[in-house]
Amino acid sequence: MADYIEIHDLNKTFQTRTGPLPVLNGIDLSIKKGEIFGIIGFSGAGKSTLARCVNGLEIPDAGSIEVNGRDVTKLSKQEMLEERRHIGMVFQNFNLFEAKTVYENIAYSLRIRHEKKSIVDEKVKEVAELVGLTEKLDAYPGGLSGGQKQRVGIARALIGEPDVLISDEATSALDPQTTLQILDLLRSINKEKGITILMITHELDAIKYSCDRMAVLEGGKIIEQGKVVDIFHNPHSRTGELFTKVFFQFQNDEFQSGAGI
């Protein structure tokens, strides 16, 4: 399988009141088409920023991100709008539009492209069935459970038929059972539609459960990347330390939500 997302020497520094804060320091990463690639790190490691660079929500200071051979950091504004059709994103806090029904949330990206009503209707129903929301189309997101909300978020990202789905801590606000359901959903989407998934998370279990390959991010650097099995069996010494830390942390307080940058 060919490399699908190719990130080379990516740098990003935020200007804060206390001075420059380097968040990404020379990230090199390659993700293959059709795989589920996990990026794990503590909050502040820069994983959300990395994800946001891929669909242009953040503009990196230096480096390149090639998605399917096109460098997204060099696109014009108009080209970026177009490119975002191919890159879906799912968020930790769902970020649903509360003013719109589930139907209109899912239909959003077709509406802004002024698609025909019949096409919108057909596609919304198709995607709603895929994520199991057919019964809830007329409801407003405010009345849904966390798992249902995330299903809407996934459906909303899927309706544009993206090639890549970025999951930015998509399961971090959910209980363990719902987390499993959402991870299963993501896996089945990956299998059925061949959508490449970039899974950003601080949860080891989520990575272990769903990813093919992974990278460990710390302090804006990739300290290790490779097959999930290999890394879990034989972690780099620093990764091992992080894993242990995470393990004990989970024992101490079962749920710690990492907001991430």
Contact pick of 41, 108, 198, 224 for another protein (by CB under 8 A): 108
Binding to another protein by residue 141, rule CB under 8 A? yes
Task: Write out the binding residues for another protein, residues 217-256 only, by CB under 8 A.
Answer: none
Contact pick of 3, 62, 79, 113 for another protein (by CB under 8 A): 113
Segment interacting with another protein, rule: CB under 8 A, options 38-46, 52-60, 177-185, 232-240: 52-60
Binding to another protein by residue 100, rule CB under 8 A? yes
Q: How far apart are CA 131 and CA 243, in angstroms?
A: 32
Binding to another protein by residue 109, rule CB under 8 A? yes
Binding string, residues 76-95; x marks residues near another protein by CB under 8 A = -----xx-xx-xxx-x-x-x
Binding to another protein by residue 157, rule CB under 8 A? yes
Binding to another protein by residue 259, rule CB under 8 A? no
Contact pick of 21, 75, 115, 139 for another protein (by CB under 8 A): 139
Segment interacting with another protein, rule: CB under 8 A, options 6-14, 153-161, 178-186, 249-257: 153-161
DSSP characters for the chain? --EEEEEEEEEEEEEETTEEEEEEEEEEEEEETT-EEEEE--TTSSHHHHHHHHTTSS--SEEEEEETTEEGGG--HHHHHHHGGGEEEEETT----TTS-HHHHHHHHHHTTT--HHHHHHHHHHHHHHHT-GGGTTS-GGGS-HHHHHHHHHHHHHTT--SEEEEESTTTTS-HHHHHHHHHHHHHHHHHH--EEEEEES-HHHHHHH-SEEEEEETTEEEEEEEHHHHHHS--HHHHHHHHHHHHHHHHSS-------
CB of 159 vs another protein, minimal distance in Å = 9
Q: How far apart are CA 53 and CA 143, in angstroms?
A: 32
**CB atoms inside a 10 Å sphere around CB 85:** 13
Binding to another protein by residue 117, rule CB under 8 A? no
Q: Count interface residues toward another protein (CB under 8 A).
A: 33
Binding to another protein by residue 97, rule CB under 8 A? yes
CB of 173 vs another protein, minimal distance in Å = 12
Site residues (CB under 8 A) for another protein?
52, 55, 57, 81-82, 84-85, 87-89, 91, 93, 95-100, 108-109, 111-113, 139-144, 153, 156-157, 160
